[in-house]
Amino acid sequence: MENLAIVYSRALLGLHTPLVEVEAHLSNGLPQFHIVGLPETEVKESRDRVRAAIIQSGFTFPTKKIVVNLAPAELPKESGRFDLPIAISILAASGQIKADLSQYEFAGELALSGQLRAIRGGILIMQAATQDNRTFIAPKSNQIFEELMTNFSTLFAENLTQVILHLNGIESLAHRTKVPTIFNSDYYNSLPDLNEVKGQQTAKKALEISAAGAHNLLLMGPPGTGKSMIANRLPSILPPLSSKELTENVMIASLLSDFEMNQHIYQRPFRSPHHSASAVAIIGGGSNPKPGEITLAHNGILFLDELPEFDRKVLEVLREPLETKEIHISRATRQVTYPANFQLIAAMNPCPCGFYGHPTHTCRCTPEQVKKYQNKLSGPFLDRIDLMIHMPAIPVEEILQDQSQIESSQTVRKRVIKCREIQYNRFDKLNNELSAKELDKNAKIEGKAKSFLIDHLEQLNLSTRSFYKILKVARTIADLEESITVETKHIIQAIGFRRT
């Protein structure tokens, strides 16, 4: 229809990219430019960017009444990604583009010069457009994601002129150019090594079990015993990201304002927020819900140092994501779901001064202060921790231990990778992800071992959740020993690691 053009683009709603039809209509009357369809401030401001970009690119901006509608109208539209589709729709409606636009999708922020700037969520839009059998035209600065997009139908352009020349069949955009790889496969060399930690053999063993089965771990002990030091070495004994995990993490990273790729995107995330962080910072949120620390730690580690110093409300909001591995955020106009399959590692002192139970330092805290400090962690929260390890002060002889005699991260990592392979071959998932039904039917737990745990259930004051968590940890201990069945000794070790 003359003076009417329809162009396809995408909105962002969490990790979802609902389709948006950008409709441009030109009519006679006083020159005006209106954008409707629930646009937010960034989209409203595109009127000035689009006008300048079209003129600076050598094309004619219509001197007519222009109405651009972003449909569906009930879906809020934000960010500058609609600049490019709005410009294309106006040029098509004014007859300056003659191509069939139904086979394309567009997204990109325009500079006043007509240059295209990178957008958030680029890889998500590329994936959605490919699934709908359309070619996505994106800013060239988003091309860094191309390394992971072997099957995506995407064209990249530096400016508005290149896009229009391609659509008019004058000069085609290249489907793919070689992108220099930034993946350092030997990034483990840059990580701190486990052989730098003197002593603390029990804590190191707990860390290995935690890594092997993706179990949550709490390290307790006085200051200077190496709690943070051990936690920071967990990434060095974890296997590399799989291609599926890497793609998921890149999609999450593309939602951030700082969406430039770097080599760290290829590593397992290790997020360590300060204890002053708010609940929104941890789980995500805002009027336009953004991912929080638990989502940025997806397929990686969330380390909470000085655990009792966190606001209790902040810790309580972690309870559901620790179970469901995702977070649902509801706001008045938006409801989004983000993945949150993270491994929780936490560290804490036993009391405010840190020396409760220390053999040589005297604790200055009253019993009431100690109780109040430890009660900051609720029972339901602690119930979701698989391993709780007390780390005592390090003896002098262990401080002087030769580093060459201590196991390196590489040695431990080999055992962890082998243990995970055993789990994936058995269930196609890690032990911490097993359901109660899978544990009961297929985990090969000896009858004597389960009876032992049941007999001590009341004595140990365990909940049903804790009961199954001990079974999962015991299954991981057995896998590290390459034992087909879970024996009583494995159950006893699992109980000890939970009550050390």
CATH of the domain at 16: 3.30.230.10
- Asked whether residue 122 carries a pLDDT value surpassing 80, the answer given is yes
The DSSP code for 395 is P
- Residue of 248, 330, 325 lying closest to 289 (CA atoms): 330
How far apart, in Å, are the Cα atoms of 190 and each of 186, 305, 479? 8, 22, 29
Q: Are 199 and 329 in a shared domain?
A: yes
Pairing status of strand 104-106 against strand 135-139: parallel
- Per the structure block, which two tokens stand in for 256? 């951030």
In the chain, the percentage of residues whose pLDDT exceeds 90 is 58
Q: Assess whether pLDDT exceeds 50 at residue 183.
A: no
* Residues 375, 455 within the same domain: no
Domain count within the chain: 3
The 4-10 sheet, strands edge to edge: 32-36, 65-71, 19-27, 4-10, 104-106, 135-139, 154-157
Query: What confidence score (pLDDT) does residue 279 get?
Result: 94
Indicate the residue among 426, 447, 478 that finishes a domain. 426
Question: Is residue 179 assigned to a domain?
Answer: no
Paired tokens of 233: 């070495």
pLDDT over 70 (residue 147): no
pLDDT for 180: 42
Q: Which of 306-315, 355-364, 433-442 has the highest mean pLDDT?
A: 306-315
Query: So what's the pLDDT on residue 315?
Result: 94
User: Greater confidence, 257 or 393?
Assistant: 393
Q: Pick the more confident residue, 221 or 199.
A: 221
Q: Is the pTM of this model over 0.85?
A: yes
pLDDT computed for residue 14 by the predictor: 87
pLDDT at 179: 45
As given in the structure block, the two tokens for residue 153 are 């139908």
Q: C-alpha distances in angstroms, 340 versus 12, 95, 283, 327?
A: 18, 48, 9, 6
Q: Are residues 419 and 439 in the same domain?
A: no
Model pLDDT for residues 260-308, shown as the tens digit of each residue: 555 577 789 999 999 999 999 999 988 888 899 999 999 999 999 999 9
User: Do 326 and 448 share a structural domain?
Assistant: no
Do the domain assignments include residue 443? yes
Torsion angle, alpha carbons of 377, 378, 383, 385, to 10: -20
What does the pLDDT look like over 336-372, one tens digit per residue? 999 999 999 999 999 999 888 887 888 889 999 999 9
| Domain that residue 317 falls in | 187-426
| Per-residue model confidence (pLDDT) at position 177 | 47
Buried b (16+ CB within 10 A) or exposed e, 381-391: beebbbbbbbb
Is pLDDT at 218 greater than 70 in this prediction? yes
Q: C-alpha dihedral over 329, 330, 335, 338, to 10 degrees?
A: 0
Residue carrying the six token digits 């295209």: 116
Q: Which of the listed residues 122, 139, 167 is the one where a domain comes to its end?
A: 167
Distance CA 493, CA 469 (A): 13
- Distance from C-alpha of 26 to C-alpha of 202, rounded to nearest angstrom: 73
33-59 CB burial, b ≥16 within 10 A, e <16:
bebebbbeebbeebbebbbbbbebbeb
Residue ending a domain, choose from 386, 402, 426: 426
Predicted pLDDT of residue 392: 87
Taking 60 as the threshold, does the pLDDT of residue 420 lie above it?
A: yes
Residue 107, pLDDT above cutoff 60: yes
